[in-house]
Amino acid sequence: MAILQIKKYPEKILKTKSEKITRIDGKLLKLSKDMLETMYFFNGIGLAANQVGELSSVFVADIKPDGKQKPIILFNPKILSCKGNCYLEEGCLSFPGISAKIKRAEKIVVCGIRPDEKEIKMEVEGILARVFQHEIDHLNGIVFFDRVNFIRRLKLNREYFRKK
Ligand SMILES: [Zn+2]
């Protein structure tokens, strides 16, 4: 396994939509494992492929560092339905030093393909639902900055480049 380099805003790949995976091969499995290792290394709770420079539709997530829940690797993830709304402060490994309150659905139903190529459909809520939405946004070329209003985005942008 390897620690990958994380792409930082404003790198173009963060604004690029990822491509659907047609076959999960050894290369993709290695990528997803490397992504998990990279996410743990940088103390993240989720990571999408375009954040490490790959345009494959896959993200990884693990919100329980105590190992109670297995890490999640999901290929071709898609949100089927959303319920409720909540605001919470969010950060992103591609935007070091910046966080913003983002509105997200409280509960979502997601489908996707697991590393063992089984198709799954799952309902997630709370922090995990938030991480899923954040990472699926990444795969669609959307960053969390895009979820705040224009004025707030200008402010965050200034703050980000001042810290950089
Ligand atoms: Zn992110």
Active site residue 135: yes
- With a cut of 90, say whether residue 68 has pLDDT above it: no
Q: How far apart are CA 144 and CA 83, in angstroms?
A: 19
What residue segments make up the domains of the chain, in order of their start? Answer: 12-163
Domain 12-163 -> CATH class: alpha beta
| Interval between CA 68 and ligand 1 midpoint (Å) | 23
Mean pLDDT of 98-107: 96
pTM above 0.85, yes or no: yes
Could you tell me the pLDDT band of residue 70, with boundaries at 50, 70 and 90?
confident
Distance, CA of 102 to chain centre: 14
Could you tell me the pLDDT band of residue 65, with boundaries at 50, 70 and 90?
low
Q: Which of 19, 117, 135, 159 is catalytic?
A: 135
| Parallel/antiparallel/unpaired status of strands 119-125 and 107-113 | antiparallel
